[in-house]
Structure 1
């Protein structure tokens, strides 16, 4: 639309405002959908990792304590079964018929086997030491608390070998965590009547020596675990951090030959597990001790059979009783006979249906009872421990491939706090006041370290982005200067060429004399 002067005038109507509002809403929905589409995979991965770690590891601690409370020296057998289970679950994804028999029909690893062998030496040693400590009167709650001191060793090794620098909050949190570990260990030793002293001699020092040995084993395991984390960081930095499945397979499969020297010990421990009470006796010890097992197994089927027999007999007797037959004869018509026969068939069908359902339920109960009666309780807990260990370690390796070793340590500390609370609640473990205070320091230090690590990472990212922007501006300035210099040079060159051409055009023509 134009006014009197000929200028164009834009007239806004109400429906134009509505269109603009709808466009803005659509743009907001598009942006929101884009943000969710970008963030959901990360949230989904975090949820999977959290479920694997907290669900699998906490269930693993439950099964472990059910074994350790009666068999404290069963650490090597537990470790061996865990490694076999993880290897069997992981190896199918690495099989390849095209690889040939020379490579055992397995795909070539991305990371060399030599590197995995070094990593495996750390891995199997740490696991054997951690499970071996239970033989030296280290309880499961104290084991959880002491192993939570991993960030201390990780920080020391990271500073010495990787040259890493840590913030003041990280250093303070690790000091707090170390103080909590030492306080918990001393309080637990004192509560068990094993006050630590440096004197030697006498039988009274044997419990003290045993406890100190177990504590030393765990300290050595933490130190080796820190070296393992540093070595894993270097492997992932060199070959990429997407090979956690490969690490999961080779770290467990290559560890199996190291158990050959302990074959006699593993065999004796397995026989002890096989001779443990059955699951039925473990669940109902009073009933299992007073009632024969075959009677327990057959009661369900006998009761179901008797109930069905009474039901069928009542149905048949009511159908063929004299009174019912007289009444049926008195009212005998074709339609009534048809209805009566239909009712009889329906009752018979219902009776057989009840027989089948009762028999099926009885057989299922009988099968479950037989399995519980034949399965040793320690074998059951050993299988549960191995399966939950696979779930737990899968989550840990997935987390290790996406973050640093210290972040893994902090996440596992939180998981250990949950396991500690479950151990106290389910198994009735009582901890002294000093142990609880030390545990509070440990997990508070772990939380502070997590906050400090997040701040350090954020500051590092901000400084990196600022450095990148500074380099970009510097390159732009250098490019502009180069462009200006090149333009000046081209102008000067053009001027020089034009001036030389003008001189040629204006120069006088020299006449040459030619002699004839």
Structure 2
């Protein structure tokens, strides 16, 4: 368990720095999400290729892996597509934090799960927070700008909503897979990224366009060489993404789901704060209230506050 504090520190360091590099890249080319995701998947696949033990074969049916990969790629592509619309990264972070809402809904419909009143209250809180942030982001735009951006913003949020539904669906599939075949995280980490790589062939044109945009970006002098800034940000994004994923993997292996949920929730909030402060994103007091509703509702859903009460009474 000595590795847990280090893993928590690296989650905040890696994921926070990752958002820093991501926002720089999106500002250079708003459609470069496909190139970024392809690079991340290639790095993780290559790294795991030399660590995964193939001698024992696969523990989960290959067909199940393919189903998860199809959902996995779809979610990544849709989330990247959303960056092409008038959605600030801050709202993107808050909106994606609402995955618990769709997860609760689909679990109730597909798996007939029953939830406590406390869970439904937390889902209502998250939903209210997302609505507040969305409406405030739209109303904070100048009237002339809002008239131009409103259709894009609306469609972008529709796209993100589809991604949320698919994220919840893949969560249900993964839960059923674990129940049937057990936990095999290294196998899933490798196959889900490796099998996704051929899918990027269908996105080769936007990837080529992003490569051209990166190569023509403003240069930064590094050790006497003028290098395009975008490629340096890209390298930083890949490195920090790997640090973030590996650190979360350590937490999921050694900590309770409650601890993992708490760390990931706080990490998302930390990333949002970085975006607001460093990039001076317009984020009003109403946006902060909505943000508090979203992340507070997430902690409620994880029963963090109830857990504290249990610890006090035990």
Q: Structure 1's 124 and 133: CA in aligned 2 closer, same or farther, altered over 3 A?
A: same
User: What does 1:180-329 correspond to in 2, within 5 Å?
Assistant: 180-193=129-142, 205-241=147-183, 243-280=184-221
User: What does 1:90-489 correspond to in 2, within 5 Å?
Assistant: 90-94=48-52, 108-193=57-142, 205-241=147-183, 243-280=184-221, 368-370=222-224, 373-400=225-252, 411-451=263-303, 455=307
Deviation per CA, 1:109-130, whole angstroms, max 9, x where unpaired? 2212211111111111111211
Cα deviation for residue 255 of structure 1 reads 0.6
Q: Which has the higher contact order (CA 8 A, sep 6+)?
A: 2
Q: Structure 1's 408 and 240: CA in aligned 2 closer, same or farther, altered over 3 A?
A: same
Q: Structure 1's 119 and 217: CA in aligned 2 closer, same or farther, altered over 3 A?
A: same
Cα deviation for residue 451 of structure 1 reads 2.4
Say whether the 8 Å CA contact 2:31–2:206 is kept in structure 1. no
Cα deviation for residue 165 of structure 1 reads 2.2
What residue in structure 2 maps to residue 299 of structure 1? none
Say whether the 8 Å CA contact 2:32–2:206 is kept in structure 1. no
Distance 1:216 1:410 in 2: 27
Cα deviation for residue 275 of structure 1 reads 1.5
Say whether the 8 Å CA contact 1:60–1:388 is kept in structure 2. yes
Cα deviation for residue 193 of structure 1 reads 3.3
Cα deviation for residue 433 of structure 1 reads 2.6
Distance 2:28 2:42 in 1: 23
Task: Check if 1:55 corresponds to 2:22.
Answer: no
Cα deviation for residue 409 of structure 1 reads 5.3
Say whether the 8 Å CA contact 2:299–2:305 is kept in structure 1. no
Deviation per CA, 1:235-265, whole angstroms, max 9, x where unpaired? 1122222x11111111111111111111122
Cα deviation for residue 407 of structure 1 reads 7.3
Distance 2:209 2:27 in 1: 18
Q: Structure 1's 265 and 406: CA in aligned 2 closer, same or farther, altered over 3 A?
A: farther
Q: How many residues align?
A: 311
Cα deviation for residue 164 of structure 1 reads 2.3
Distance 2:177 2:167 in 1: 15
Cα deviation for residue 52 of structure 1 reads 3.9
Unpaired runs of 5+ residues, structure 1, are 1-40, 100-106, 196-202, 281-367, 463-516
Unpaired runs of 5+ residues, structure 2, are none
Distance 1:221 1:272 in 2: 26
Q: Structure 1's 156 and 402: CA in aligned 2 closer, same or farther, altered over 3 A?
A: farther
Say whether the 8 Å CA contact 2:4–2:254 is kept in structure 1. no
Cα deviation for residue 166 of structure 1 reads 2.0
Say whether the 8 Å CA contact 2:28–2:230 is kept in structure 1. no
What's the TM-score once normalised by structure 1's chain length? 0.56
Indicate the SS of the match to 1:375.
strand
Deviation per CA, 1:135-167, whole angstroms, max 9, x where unpaired? 101111111111111111111122222232222
Say whether the 8 Å CA contact 1:233–1:404 is kept in structure 2. no
Distance 1:112 1:447 in 2: 34
Say whether the 8 Å CA contact 1:119–1:232 is kept in structure 2. yes
